[in-house]
Structure 1
């Protein structure tokens, strides 16, 4: 299985008339945030693939539209028209989904709070958001034998692929215990821009491979 992952920057290799041929073998698309919704719409329509995404801490023009849809969904209302098929993309912030291919994916957007801006959170606030995922993760373990395959975030974990001395790009500490407890195969994030080939893109923490998907990254998962 191949997954096209995008974040933070409109990549000319993706935003291209040749994208359909270049990425014809990907199964779906994951966006780790800080991208305009029009770009996600272009990717969804050009590749004709499902796009799942979280919001970052920029490009938040449509965040309330999707949050309202998610709130209605949690209340038991028919909110498919709000959470899906807007820009051809599905918002999974604060949710856990099972894809048609059987992958279990949870999403968590936002960055560390550095200037009280929108979609910025303290470590304590993020920990609370993660706790709300636990009931669904336990059901995953019961029915599928594992908690999670992919944890899609905007920010990296604290001390891994982040810039801990930079208050804007420090990762979240709660992501560390989340990985220890629920062992996702992958944590995919953006937020930290990569400007040269020496920048760290792939790391590992316990059983989880952590990938900075800035710009674009094609993740290949064997045996799926």
Structure 2
């Protein structure tokens, strides 16, 4: 399975009339935040592949369609008309995306858990403290346990905007990662964690790292990942 991951910028390789020629081979798309819905809608309408997204801490105009707290008191709920699937604070199984793990005898659905937002740095929308994020993650546990019983694993991909602490993050308040993400990765062992938020302006900054049993990938711009993973020998390891 080939998965296109995107975040944080309108990438000219993706936002292009040649997108179908360049990325028509992928099986699905994951959007890791700070992208306009117009851009996500363009990807969905041109590639026509299953597309999942979370929100970051910018480009939040459409957040009100998905979260009550982002709406004004007198503003009524309206459904946002889009072909993509919001994964924020959810555990999802895609039975249209079946794959076989090494050692398994039959294919099972792609298992995704999603989390929107960043650390709280100015009390804006879609920003959370460590304790708030811990509560958000705890709400995912029942469905993760069901995955473990049904499929023998909790999840395949942990899709977020923010990073774990000390994995690809920075030291300013906005770009610090969540410590609770580290704990979540260690316990639920996703094959991949896909995040955004950290812009790769410096070519020396890592895009891919290993942490515990998971591969952490920065989706900035665009990148393509594979399931199952074929070779991890060249991926640098980050430890606590």
TM-score (norm 2): 0.84
The aligned residue for residue 45 of structure 2 is 45
SS in 2 for 1:103: strand
The number of residues matched between the two structures is 210
Matches for 1:29-40 after TM superposition, within 5 Å? 29-40=29-40
In structure 2, which of residues 131, 134, 137 is the aligned counterpart of residue 130 of structure 1?
A: 137
CA distance in 2: counterparts of 1:215 and 1:87, whole angstroms: 22
In structure 1, which of residues 155, 159, 178 is the aligned counterpart of residue 162 of structure 2?
A: 155
Q: Any unmatched runs of 5+ in structure 1?
A: 69-78
The aligned residue for residue 208 of structure 2 is 202
CA distance in 1: counterparts of 2:38 and 2:22, whole angstroms: 20
Q: Is the 8 A contact 1:38 1:87 kept in 2?
A: no
Give the number of the structure whose alpha-carbon radius of gyration is greater: 2
Q: CA deviation at 1:126?
A: 0.3
RMSD over aligned Cα atoms: 1.6
SS in 2 for 1:14: coil
User: Are residues 1:82 and 2:82 paired?
Assistant: no
Higher helix share: 1
CA distance in 2: counterparts of 1:178 and 1:40, whole angstroms: 27
Q: CA deviation at 1:104?
A: 0.3
SS in 1 for 2:222: strand
User: Are residues 1:143 and 2:140 paired?
Assistant: no
Q: CA deviation at 1:195?
A: 1.0
Q: CA deviation at 1:223?
A: 7.3
SS in 1 for 2:34: coil
Q: CA deviation at 1:196?
A: 3.2
CA distance in 2: counterparts of 1:220 and 1:151, whole angstroms: 14
TM-score (norm 1): 0.90
Q: Any unmatched runs of 5+ in structure 2?
A: 69-76, 98-108, 231-240
Q: Deviations over 1:9-66 (max 9, x none)?
A: 0000000000011001100100000000000000000111121000000000011102
The aligned residue for residue 20 of structure 2 is 20
